[in-house]
Amino acid sequence: MTVSPLRYKHGLILLLILGWFASAGKAAALELVSSDACMLDVSGSFKTIYLGTHDSPFSRGHDSSINLLRLMLTGTVSDKASFEFHVVESATINPASSSVAGFSAFSPAERFRAERLNHTQTTHEDFSAGIAIDRANISLHFEHCDVTIGRQAISLGTTYFWNPNDLLATFSPYEFDRDYKPGVDGAVVDFPLGDFSGITLLYGAGKHMRLNDSTLLLRAYTTINDFDLSVTAGRYREDGFVGADFSGEFGPGIGIRGGLAYFAAEDDNDFLQAVLGAEYRFENNLLVSAEYFFNGYGTLHHSNYFDTLTSERIRDGDMYNISRHYLGILGSYELTPLLRISLAVIMNLSDHSMLIDPTLVYSLSDNAELVAGLIISSGHKPRGFRLRSEFGTYPDFSFVEMKYYF
């Protein structure tokens, strides 16, 4: 696809504007109200992202500029209540005809939102814009429990690339912007039983707030010998669910983490997912981590890839991978106090296809940074609609992102 110079010009102007803000100095949240009885702050972020797709087996290359302005209102009322409200304005220059699963910069998590709370302001071939409410919740603090109701980020699990216990709007293994997890509609009731132990009741509302499209979980957590442990059980949409996860240190500075999830599926065969990971930071600040992922939902043979890829769980974003065995490796190193480099590799151990993600992160100031990288696919390309590897089906990506926080 030919991209007009005007589109590149718009993206360059946004980058220059953001760079000017970044060089202006430190930024801080604006205190609207500050007293012993009440506090009210306004903060936010602005991001502009260039995202290019190249060498796609099924379509021509495409270049887009995604621009996100997030305004955040947070506050407390004495020590009895707190709230947060996030509104996101998005503008995309040269939007793609369809979203690329797993690489979106802002996921609306529609399947766990009873109300959409978003509005498309304009949509054209060269430009689209919209506004959405990503967080809107209130937390009430009682003597024996804390209750949070409304649109909120709900995070479960301890692993990074794959997180089978994180059932509500989890990040994909390849998502490069993880600053804000999408909010989902629901309620969380937490009963602390000590400094590091407790029981949590979680509800995630489906689109129609019916039992078969919602999530209801009971989670117990504690810490034993510096290991964080949790067990979760309940209902995930139409499935019964039980899971467990852990994280801690083993030996001199070796961090280990893992998760186990079992789905008693209503419409599929029951399946198990498991992740085991470890990380180590060397004295020279080189950080190396790795995770193995067993995906019981996936298939062992590429002849079944297409059926798995078009399954409801993949289409709805509940799962991201279609094979059985995976390995993820991440290395990160600080070249200077301002410049960090990283290399992530995700490998399908069954068909030996890979995604390779080299990334540079440069700190422009205390409140701004520049991120640039590639996501390179490797593997057998499809022949027509016959998939011969998982990641060989993916296009290559390039991205440049500038972030400014205020």
185-221: per-residue pLDDT in tens? Answer: 999 999 999 889 999 999 999 988 888 889 999 999 9
* Token code pair at residue 107: 């996921």
- 162/312 Cα distance (integer angstroms): 19
CATH of the domain at 152: 2.40.160.10
- 221/157 Cα distance (integer angstroms): 11
Listed in sequence order, the residues at least 6 apart from 141 whose beta carbon sits closer than 8 Å to its beta carbon are: 79, 80, 81, 82
**CA distances, 307 to each of 94, 299, 319, 379, 387 (Å):** 31, 10, 14, 19, 10
- 67/7 Cα distance (integer angstroms): 13
Q: Domain range holding 391? A: 5-405
**CA distances, 227 to each of 166, 224, 258 (Å):** 19, 5, 11
Q: What is the pLDDT of residue 195?
A: 87
CB 309 within 8 A of CB 387: yes
Q: What is the pLDDT of residue 316?
A: 83
The amino acid sitting at 329 is I
**CA distances, 148 to each of 33, 116, 168, 189 (Å):** 22, 19, 15, 7
User: Which residues is 220 bridged to in the sheet?
Assistant: 199, 231
Of the candidate ranges 69-73, 96-100, 170-174, 305-309, the one whose mean pLDDT is the lowest: 96-100
The amino acid sitting at 125 is E
Report the 10 Å Cβ neighbour count for 387.
Answer: 24
Q: Cα-flanking dihedrals φ and ψ of residue 359, to 5°?
A: -140, 140
Contacts 24+ apart (CB under 8 A), 238-241: 238/212, 238/213, 238/265, 238/266, 238/267, 239/263, 239/264, 239/265, 239/266, 240/264, 241/167, 241/217
Say if residue 105's pLDDT is above 60: no
The amino acid sitting at 5 is P
Q: What is the pLDDT of residue 258?
A: 98
CB 280 within 8 A of CB 253: yes
Q: What is the pLDDT of residue 65?
A: 93
User: Using 50, 70 and 90 to split pLDDT, how confident is the model at 109?
Assistant: low
Number of domains in the chain: 1
57-104: per-residue pLDDT in tens? Answer: 777 888 999 999 999 999 999 889 999 999 999 999 998 755 443 344
CB 152 within 8 A of CB 183: yes
CB 396 within 8 A of CB 375: yes
pTM of the model: 0.88
Helical segments of 3-105, H only: 5-22
DSSP 282: -
Say if residue 154's pLDDT is above 90: yes
Q: Is the dihedral of CA 396, 347, 244, 310 positive or negative?
A: positive
Q: What is the DSSP annotation of 152-201?
A: E-----S-SS--TT--SSPPPTT-S--SSPPPEEEEEEEEE-SSS-EEEE
CB 261 within 8 A of CB 230: no
Say if residue 34's pLDDT is above 60: yes
- 388/406 Cα distance (integer angstroms): 47
Contacts 24+ apart (CB under 8 A), 343-348: 346/161, 346/173, 346/174, 346/391, 348/321, 348/323, 348/379, 348/389, 348/390, 348/391
Q: Which of 381, 380, 376 is nearest to 396 (CA)?
A: 376
Report the 10 Å Cβ neighbour count for 394.
Answer: 24
User: Which residues is 252 bridged to in the sheet?
Assistant: none
* Token code pair at residue 347: 């490998």
CB 363 within 8 A of CB 355: no
User: Using 50, 70 and 90 to split pLDDT, how confident is the model at 174?
Assistant: confident
What three-state secondary structure class fits 393? Answer: helix
